[in-house]
A and B are shown apart, each in its own frame.
Chain A
Amino acid sequence: MSGIEAVRKIVETEAQAKRIVEEAESRAQEILASASEQARNVRQTSTAEAEQRKVQRLRETREKAEADARSSDVETDSLLENYKKLFENRKDVAAKKAVELILGG
Chain B
Amino acid sequence: MAESLEKLHKRILSDAKLKAAGIVEQAEDKSKQILGEAQAQAQKDADDILSRASLEAESTRRSILSSRIRANRLRILDEKNKIVQSVLRTVEKSLSDIASSDQFESTLKRFVAEAVEAVGTDNAVVKIGFRNADKKSLQSLGQSLPKGTKLIAEETAVDDLGGVVASDPEGKMIFNNSFRARLERLDNELLTTISLAIFGE
Contact = CB atoms under 8 A, between A and B. Distances in A.
Interface of A: 1, 6, 9-10, 13-14, 16-18, 20-21, 23-25, 27-29, 31-32, 34-36, 38-40, 42-43, 45-47, 49-51, 53-54, 57-58, 61-62, 64-66, 68-69, 72-73, 75-76, 79-80, 83-84, 86-87, 90-91, 93-95, 97-99, 101-103, 105
Interface in B20-53: 20-21, 23-24, 26-28, 30-32, 34-35, 37-39, 41-43, 45-46, 49-50, 52-53
Contacts of B140: none
Nearest to B41: A43
Contacts, number: 209
Interface of B: 1-2, 5, 8-9, 12-13, 15-17, 19-21, 23-24, 26-28, 30-32, 34-35, 37-39, 41-43, 45-46, 49-50, 52-54, 56-58, 60-61, 64-65, 67-69, 72, 75-76, 79-80, 83, 86-88, 90-91, 94-95, 98, 103, 107, 179, 182-183, 185-186, 189-190, 193-194, 197-200
B61 A24 contact: no
Contact of B68 (A14, A17, A31, A73): A73
